[in-house]
Structure 1
């Protein structure tokens, strides 16, 4: 039977275990790579057509060009825990209950992005690290 002294004695150990279990270890993936894959998944596009334009603190800016129409779209993204939150460059964050939610799981060199719609229907896209590797952009901030 546990006594109060035993529980107090275990508290630091439990706290360390809980904190260790909540680490934000993204393995080999950077926030830029996770954002690139997440926005591509949300838009049902191949991540190879997306460029990482800027990383400004926790914000990642990705874009793509549509070859046929010369359309150039820019998106913002940020990683919060195991969730990728995104928006158009000037639009509101996609955080309403009616918006699709993007979460991700990392297993070694594989990233799985799960897109869950408001009704709970999920679609998953899996990417290998080599598919997403990006260099940090050298451009100045695109928001200036």
Structure 2
């Protein structure tokens, strides 16, 4: 190793040694936060992939619209598929007047957000928070709505097939 390379290495060691306690502590916090963030990103990706292998977005969204609209899961709500942005399109023909109702739905973790085809996402103050869970051993999809006043309702759909 040349004398110049040794000097460069000593320069880095000396620079780290000259860090004041607050600067060293701040640098340590930043490095730890980056490690925790990377760990969270990897783990959440694994969990999301595991969920997607159990039940489809279309099934979750169909259950969400059925629960919100007070319809049975095995009604005429149909899925148009999920696009590359993770948005599932659904439609429902109301039997009383044969009108077509179209919806959009997106899932993030255990949360579901929905909207009519051209309407805003239901994320405003006063809109219910919607959570889902799935019991594969019972084939049961559970959609829970938590309303802005703190009350909630839950709808259990049995016979929902996993992938």
Confirm or deny a common fold (TM above 0.5): yes
C-alpha RMSD of matched pairs (Å): 2.7
Structure 1: where are the runs of 5+ without partners? 1-7, 135-144
Counterpart of 1:33 in structure 2 is: 59
Map 1:36-115 → 2, pairs under 5 A: 36-48=62-74, 49-57=76-84, 58-108=86-136, 109-115=139-145
Greater Rg over alpha carbons, structure: 2
Q: Please, which runs of 5 or more residues in structure 2 have no aligned partner? A: 1-31
Q: Which structure has more helix as a fraction of its residues?
A: 2
User: Structure 1 length normalisation: TM-score?
Assistant: 0.72
TM-score, L = length of structure 2: 0.64
Q: Find the aligned partners of 2:111 and 2:55 in 1 and give their Cα distance.
A: 14
The higher relative CO (CA closer than 8 Å, separation ≥ 6) is in: 1
SS in 1 for 2:148: coil
Q: Are the aligned partners of 1:60 and 1:78 in contact in 2 as well (CA < 8 Å)?
A: yes
Deviation >4 Å, runs of 4+: none
